[in-house]
Amino acid sequence: MEYVENVMNLAQETIGVNLVMLKDLRITTSGNKHIDEFIQQSQLNAVHYSKYLEWILFEKFQNVTYIADGGFGRIYSAEWLEGNIDHWDIENQSWYRYRFNKYALKSLNNSSDICSDFLNEIKSHLQIYFDNIVSCFGITQDPNNKEYMMVLYYCDGNLRNYLNKSKIYINYKSKIDKLQQIARGLLDIHNAEKVHKDVHSGNILFYRAIPFISDLGMCKPENLKKSVKEEGIYGVLPYMAPEVLGEYQYTKAADIYSFGIIMIPFNDIPHDKFLAIKICKGLRPTISKDVPKLLADLIIKCWDAEIKNRPTTKELYQILTTWNNETKDIKDSEYSEYI
C-alpha cells in the first residue's frame, strides 16, 4: 500500500512540476530557440528533480571567479543566492530550493555559437543517474562574451588535490570506500549505455571527501570505431587503454582499464609517444608489495591487454562493495589479511 501511495505521489508531483515549469518558461527564456526547446524537453522528460534543467539569468550569480582552463573550455566558481531546484513542494505548489556555498560554471570554447558538443554534454548529465556524478542544474550565458555555461555542482578539487591535501595516511579501508563510490558513478554511466572515454584523476572531483565523476563531454555510445578514427583520440595518455592507443577503440572495457590506472598510476615517467608504444607492448605501473593481494589481482585484471579478461563495471562495483561491507570494523593493520 505504501508503495502505491509513493507512486501516486510521484505522479502527482511530476504533473504539477511540468505545468508550473512550462508557465515559467514563458517568462524566463534564453532567447535561443534551440536552448529553450532543449530545456523544455528536459522538464517534460525528467524522471527526477536532479534532471530538471532551467535557464538561469547570469545576473543571479555573484562573485564569479575564474578557476582554470579545461581541455575544452573554462571553469569558474560562483555564488547563486536563489539556489538550485531541490524538490517539488506539493503542499505549497512551488519549488523548494537549496543553496550550496558555491556552484561551478563551465563554458565550452566557442559556445557563443551554440553547438551540438555543448548540448550533448548536458544531455549526458540528464541520461545518467545522479549517484557520484557531478549534477548539472541548468544553463546560463555570460553577457560580456556571450559564452553559454553549464551550471554545475561545485567540488573542492580533484583526486590529485585530495591526495595532496591529505596530510595523514589514507588507509586501505578509506581507499576502498572511495574506489567503490567512483565505481558506482562509472556503473551509472555504463548503465546508460555510454562510455566516458576520459577517466583520469583530474576528472574525479571531491566534495567533502565524496568523489564525483565529472567532464562528460566525451561520453558517447561505445563501438563508434569509424567516427573515432576520423575525429582522432582524446584523453590523458597514461590512463588510455592499449586498444585505444592502437586501434582507436573506445569501449566500456577501456574505461575499466583507466579505472585500474587510477588505483595505481604511473609515476616519474615521461608522457610521450614512447610511453604509448610501451603501454601497447604491455608496460604497466609498478604495484608495491604493501598492496593487499586481492586488490593487486583486481588491478592487474583491469589492466589486462585482453578486453574480455577485464571485469565488467558491475563486477568491479560488486567486488569493491563486498570488500567495503566486510571490512568496516577491521583495523587497518589487519586489512591485508582480509583482502
Pairwise CA distance, residues 55 & 77, whole Å: 18
In tens, the pLDDT along 111-128 reads: 666 667 788 888 888 888
- Domain spans of the chain, in order of start: 2-153, 157-337
157-337: CATH number:
1.10.510.10
* Reported pTM: 0.84
Question: What local confidence, expressed as pLDDT, does residue 1 receive?
Answer: 44
Instruction: Give me the architecture of the 2-153 domain, per CATH.
Output: 2-Layer Sandwich (3.30)
Contact 213, 262 (CB under 8 A): no
Question: What local confidence, expressed as pLDDT, does residue 219 receive?
Answer: 82
In tens, the pLDDT along 157-169 reads: 999 888 877 655 6
Rounded to the nearest integer, the mean pLDDT of the chain is 84
Closest CA to 122 of 132, 133, 113, 112: 133
Contact 100, 154 (CB under 8 A): yes
- Calculate what percentage of the chain has a pLDDT beyond 70: 81
Pairwise CA distance, residues 197 & 305, whole Å: 17
Confidence of residue 333 (pLDDT cuts 50, 70, 90): low
Cβ atoms within 10 Å, residue 24:
14
